[in-house]
Structure 1
Amino acid sequence: MEQHKVMILGTGPAGLTAAIYAARANLNPVVIEGNEPGGQLTLTTEVENFPGFPEGIMGPELMDNMRQQAEKFGAKFVHGWVSSVHMSQRPFRVTVDETDEYVAETIIISTGASAKMLGIPGEADLVGRGVSTCATCDGFFFRNKPIVVVGGGDSAMEEATFLTKFASEVTIVHRRTELRASKVMQDRARNNPKIKWALNVTPVSVKSDGNKVNGLEVRDNETGETRVLPTEGVFIAIGHQPNTAFLNGQIDVDPVGYIITQGVSSATSVEGVFACGDVMDSHYRQAITAAGSGCKAAMDVEKYLEGSAFQDWSVSSSVSTH
């Protein structure tokens, strides 16, 4: 069985950037695409905040461009889902779709984090057409429009407050009367005149005009009655889940599941295994920061394979902020 120098798990901005850098370093990376090649950006429409595209670029087009660039330098792509990774001995063994096995000296994990969704009718169909999980990414598109934010934690309060920069008004929808957010974040939201409240209600479905969102149907938890909140944007802010379950506890993660990296590097608790992108970053979650961390991971792998020491990288306990 052929032994590869580096395998990259995931093809979002982090994984594809790592592939570009690793390929240019003549490491001949093998990239496992996963079930969602291109990552979360393939679910978005226009991306306006990625440097170098003053007129914006469609998310799927940006990811396709990055893939082509990696292939140009010699990266090999394998379509499939990583079933398991065996890190107890080296070289590492990676099983794809439960049947195909690959062997690698190093691994870069860039499997991302999935936004938790409500699972209600209309939600999945309208992602990119009014349903979003990223205020920083999509808030600009909702200037002077009514927006709904679903959630009751700090993230929901933060996103709602941020969205008031653009929206005509923001309504926070939460299934309980009491919020989970810290008092500081609650007070900040409650003191914002552009934020309205719809508490003790449960989202039932996302409504559309046949093309884009025009309302969120909610059910009053006390009376059982339903009503539709008019809105042009529904932002889901109920948390993210890092895609690390397949690692089966072989690597150090924080209580939520984000991979912990060493100091300023992308090195993990397992020698020869590196991590980049949203799988180790619970704070920024932007395409450009993910791409930057992918560059770091590829450079770290190159130094590791050359025999460079890691100890100077352990400046702090983790580069992740949770």
Structure 2
Amino acid sequence: MDGFVGRLTQEQNQKLMEMWKIIIDMGKCNINDPPKVDVSKRRGIKALLGKKRASSNSLVEEKDSDLLFELFLAFATDDPDSLILRFLRARKWDVNKGVEMLLNALKWRAQMDIPQLLAGGERDLGKQIESGKFFVFGKDKMGNLVSYTRVKLHDKNAQSQEDSEKFTVYYTESVRRILPKGHEKITLVFDLTDFTMNSMDYQMVKFLVTCFEAYYPESLHQCLVVNAPWIFWGCWKIIKPWIDPIICEKIKFLKSYSELVEFIDVDQIPKYFGGENPYEFKYDEFRGESQSMPEDKVNETNSKFDTLRDSFVETTLKLINDPNNQNLTLERNKLKEQIQSLNAYIESFYPKSIFQRSNISIK
């Protein structure tokens, strides 16, 4: 399948470079006031380092930041081109629509302050993870990581909407960081066994739908809904109109666990879900094992981040003007690897997620 890094047609590569050119040209616009996008203030790179003000629980000094700054934070450990391509594919290679979608996603990421959320770890979210209502295990037949949701374990009244949203984003961002190179999508399994209306959280469903459609496009391979009781079908009539038809096509309703084997090999399915794998979710207690970056490394890392960003932008512009220059392509690929390595180094100072503590990944 084309449309991915290393598998681009000439036309797709031209679209990618065209989108990069627009982003770079807009890149020095303030994140608070880019064209057609109204974005709230954003904390600086030190948010990545987990540093806090002595006077409050906020991360160190707030400052206005440019679009490129936000974009390079969003890359995390992704290949920079992979992220851009997801927005292009989601908008059927319409560059202007892809740019607009990306800008809205960057606005949202700035408002959510995702680096601060990750730097805090599970300190305020552990109960939701500890419940086992969400966990990841194994892979589907296409090699995508599988996320399981036991809906009956979710009590819509046990947490605020804000906490539910923070948990959803933290969970999603944590899963992103355990996907091996070459894997960009996940399969969701929603188990509706013993479903009651106490678990029917419309606000959370709507937020999850928005995340996959607008903020994490091209991240969902399929959604398998198992054992839906008759009472759920009334809920589905409310939910379905919220969902984009393209996403809706990825949702499949299964009558029983036995039908999961059509999509996931039986040895990759936990016994609880009718498979043969003995895996059982067990919460590895969060210990807040974060550490601060040494002071002498903070300025050095800041400087390296800016240098890599500027070098990548400069090399990308050169490649746009000289697309057949293999030396520029090699140089740009090296810079992408360095950006990923630096972000991985920065994030090594974050508390480890449950997935990292449990060494969960696709084998």
Q: Please give the TM-score of this superposition, normalised by the length of structure 1.
A: 0.29
Q: Which has the higher strand share?
A: 1
Q: Which has the higher helix share?
A: 2
Q: TM-score, normalised by structure 2?
A: 0.27
